[in-house]
Structure 1
Amino acid sequence: MKKTLILVRHATAEDQTLLTKDFDRNLNSKGLGEAAVMGEWLAETNVRPDIFITSPASRAYKTAVITAEKLGVNVGLLISKREIYDGGPKAYLNAINGVSEEFSVLALFGHNPDITYFAEYISGTSLGSMKKGSVAIIEFENFKWEEISAKTGNLTLYKTPKQVRDVD
């Protein structure tokens, strides 16, 4: 059975200050717009996540909440995994490998550079650096979530908020 992974880099956040920990940085107005436009764009596609996993860091979590709302998904269903915030690409792989087989489409919200490294690791495709708010869709044919590893996926789509806005 086909599995689809939607990797979402958090949208643009406020700059870090001496008073704000990196973990607590919120989306700024640009980021709120990016998350909304990408959530709306996902809602228009035929790709519907049936499970959402996110970093609990404010900017990633809020990006996930906005996306879920645009898709009509109960935000109470978001699964927060602390290790995605600073656990490196291996934390992303562990999160995916632990997903139940009852789910076929996973949306995973995280941070650069790890999310880009992870996308390249599992797809074997060079992305450069995922832009803020961007979405990479990777498909896996005949793999269970627990079997996904290096170069097992096929990058089928990469979209940035700017690309989505320029189409409208």
Structure 2
Amino acid sequence: MFFAESPSEQIMKKTLYLVRHAKAEDRAPFMRDHDRELVSEGIIASARIGRHLKDKGITADCLISSTALRAKDTARIVAEQLGIDPETISYDEHMFDGGPKAYLAAVNRLPANCQSAMLFGHNPDITYFAEFLTHQDVGSMSKGAVAAIEFTDLEWAAVSGRTGNLLFYVAPKHLKEA
């Protein structure tokens, strides 16, 4: 005889996608680092990663980006590829130069009804954060790369070090030309 699990016995899973911004223009004299834009290669890579995620059936309920122009642009392009309204992206100024603690604070503030979230940020912080959550060696995340991390039976507020499992890591350079 088969008994269905009651809702209280079902395993709850949440997924976090960490996305490093794609390739941006080099820093020039008198230009603020915060204001660097994506170059054409970065725009194309963002679209390819977004399309790859969509092809894999991946989406996100909540999107949060650093306020730096290159991260915002990456977030907008990926959102468009996923069929998500870019106007729904939230921006967190602390994710620019705030260190991994700023990323953790952003995750811990996610609403309980958000089952999957996507954060767009910068190296080295985003790599350190992925490794902190999973205790796995991710290596230095490439520009435009995505690390997917799954949490089992945890609310976002309880996410901390070693609580996640790395599902996959993919960078634009790993994808075949479309």
Give the structure 2 partner of residue 34 of structure 1. Answer: 45
What is the deviation of 1:46? 2.2
Partners of 1:37 and 1:165 within 8 A in 2: no
What is the deviation of 1:165? 2.5
Give the structure 1 partner of residue 125 of structure 2. Answer: 114
**Residues 59-105 of structure 1: CA deviation (Å, up to 9, x unaligned):** 00000000000011111100000000110000000000000001000
1:70 to 81, 98, 102: 81
1:155 to 166, 169, 174: 166
- Comparing 96-105 with 43-52, greater Cα deviation is found at 43-52
Distance 2:67 2:76 in 1: 11
Give the structure 2 partner of residue 5 of structure 1. Answer: 16
Distance 1:105 1:7 in 2: 11
Q: Which runs of 5+ in 2 are unaligned?
A: 1-11
Corresponding residue SS for 2:26: coil
User: 1:62 is matched by which residue type in structure 2?
Assistant: D
Corresponding residue SS for 1:53: strand
Larger radius of gyration: 2
Corresponding residue SS for 2:175: helix
Distance 1:138 1:130 in 2: 14
Corresponding residue SS for 2:147: strand
Query: Structure 1 segments of 4 or more deviating over 2 A?
Result: none
| 2:56 corresponds to 1:79 | no
User: 2:72 is matched by which residue type in structure 1?
Assistant: Y
Partners of 1:8 and 1:107 within 8 A in 2: yes
| 2:146 corresponds to 1:135 | yes
Normalization by structure 1: what TM-score?
0.97
| 2:119 corresponds to 1:89 | no
Normalization by structure 2: what TM-score?
0.92
